[in-house]
A and B are shown apart, each in its own frame.
Chain A
């Protein structure tokens, strides 16, 4: 199957008093292996809900959802960077990054090596002995990012991973993420509220809106890679902003 994720007539949501409440419904989604897809849409529309379903934390209310990630040896099929960093307060930074690696069949030395490597990637090499409590919000988010990178997933799900970062750190991490993606051939599903970020990173930007939500529009970003923060990018940003505004009005 060329598609790493396939959803047909998918409905997602939660149960209230034994009744299903749909957050997303009638969603058709085809994500190609190796694609970089970004989801945007108003707050509460169901972006996190969709990522949770893809990684297997919740089951569809109806419809089908197939995920076909292949782990490389010593890696996980998929990994999620949670919207809240979700760190374990009793583990140090290194311990938090090791958490995902502990479920894999790796030697202790290899785990630590990979955890340190991931921490270096997010610029936290000197922070491994700290506790989450001793980090800034942006640093915590980067630990969550390192934890996901460390397990070398085939499918990387990222829920607003750069939200709490300053512009320079953010651009830096964006470029690193693009390097990683290009060099490893993994698939990335990214969620952000920042349209510029969405356009700069993605092959395709998908807009979710409505209640219950569905994919209302889709933009293929045909900009050459490596990406630049230039006028062409601005054109796309304008287009998507316009269609977002329409979606808001339709909602």
Chain B
């Protein structure tokens, strides 16, 4: 499908949802307590904004999110790469990981609270854990599945030694996979950020919990949409950075031809 048509369809879907939503609550089919009318949301947002709460909570959540993202991504990618290059360690981690990995990040909340109290550190820890595993697994897999023929090529042309081959061959070859993991982590982070704050750690999640206690459903929706927007923003930024810096790498791994700038405008970009 051509992209303008796609965009239009996507917009139409959103508009339709809005119309049905508004209709349901205006006609009295749904009480505002169950679902607030859509038209009440901008007003609620304005209230949150003017009182300064919105910015406050968003900044707090962003802080947990960004620090957790940084820690989880860096450690996950590093651990994945290091383990992939050491067969012994790789074998040793298999059992451990089988036990730890299925534990969802939210299951760490009790320990997070015991270790760090109801603090920002606890929220950051929980976010970091989820992001860590995603990045660990994708980097490990990406480095392990590097074409053995290319490592052989490196041997044949005098690039010997694990570290050297890592930088000359494995990392560039694995970078699309590693970047895919980073992107998945960016999404996963927003899913855990709210849950991590539901326990009273200041942030969007805490505000939503408070609002729902007061049956202020319009406020809850304001923050739901806020998360959507924040996710869209971070993901778009990441894709922009990825395409800018590593553009040629990706166009080639995807099997697409890196056409000159002018010709590329008409082409659909994967976002």
Partner-B contacts on A (CB < 8 A): 55-57, 76, 79-80, 82, 84, 86, 88-92, 99-100, 102-104, 131-134, 147, 151
Contacts and interface: CB of A to CB of B under 8 A. Distances in A.
Contacts of B251: 131
Given A76-B158, A82-B149, 15 more contacts: A79-B156, A79-B157, A82-B156, A86-B150, A88-B173, A89-B253, A90-B175, A90-B253, A99-B159, A103-B157, A104-B158, A131-B248, A131-B251, A133-B252, A134-B258
B258 A131 contact: yes
Nearest to B257: A134
Given A57-B152, A86-B150, A133-B252, A99 B157 contact: yes
Nearest to A134: B257
8 contacts: A56-B156, A76-B158, A90-B172, A91-B172, A100-B158, A131-B248, A132-B252, A147-B157
A100 B154 CA distance: 8
Contacts of A90: 172-173, 175, 248-249, 252-253
A104 to B, nearest CB: 7
B153 A86 contact: yes
Contacts of A102: 159, 168
A84 B251 CA distance: 22
Contacts of A79: 156-157
B257 A100 contact: no
Contacts of B158: 76, 100, 103-104
Contacts of A132: 252
Interface string B240-261: 0000000011011101011000
Contacts of B155: 56-57
Q: Determine chain B's interface SS by DSSP, over half rule.
A: helix
A146 to B, nearest CB: 13
Contacts of A57: 152, 155-156
Interface string B143-154: 000000110110
Nearest to B158: A103
Contacts of B156: 55-57, 79-80, 82
B126 to A, nearest CB: 35
A151 B153 CA distance: 14
B152 A151 contact: no
A91 B149 CA distance: 16
Contacts of A56: 155-156
B169 interface: yes
A86 B149 contact: yes
Interface magnitude class on chain B: 20 to 34
A147 B175 CA distance: 24
B147 to A, nearest CB: 9
A50 to B, nearest CB: 14
Nearest to A150: B157
A190 to B, nearest CB: 17
B158 to A, nearest CB: 3
Closest 7 CB pairs of A and B: A103-B158, A100-B157, A131-B252, A90-B249, A133-B252, A90-B172, A86-B153
A151 B150 contact: no
B218 to A, nearest CB: 50
A147 B252 CA distance: 20
Contacts of B173: 88, 90
A104 B158 CA distance: 8
A132 B249 CA distance: 11
B149 A76 contact: no
Most buried by B among A76, A79, A86: A86
Given A131-B252, A131-B258, A134-B258, A88 B157 contact: no
B231 to A, nearest CB: 29
A55 B155 CA distance: 9
Nearest to A76: B158
Most buried by A among B153, B173, B255: B153
B14 to A, nearest CB: 37
Most buried by B among A57, A104, A131: A131
A78 to B, nearest CB: 9
Contacts of A86: 149-150, 152-153
A99 B175 CA distance: 18
A57 B255 CA distance: 30
A233 to B, nearest CB: 33
Nearest to A58: B152
Most buried by A among B149, B252, B257: B252
Nearest to A80: B156
B88 to A, nearest CB: 19
Most buried by B among A55, A84, A99: A99
Nearest to B172: A90
Contacts of A151: 157
A133 B251 CA distance: 10
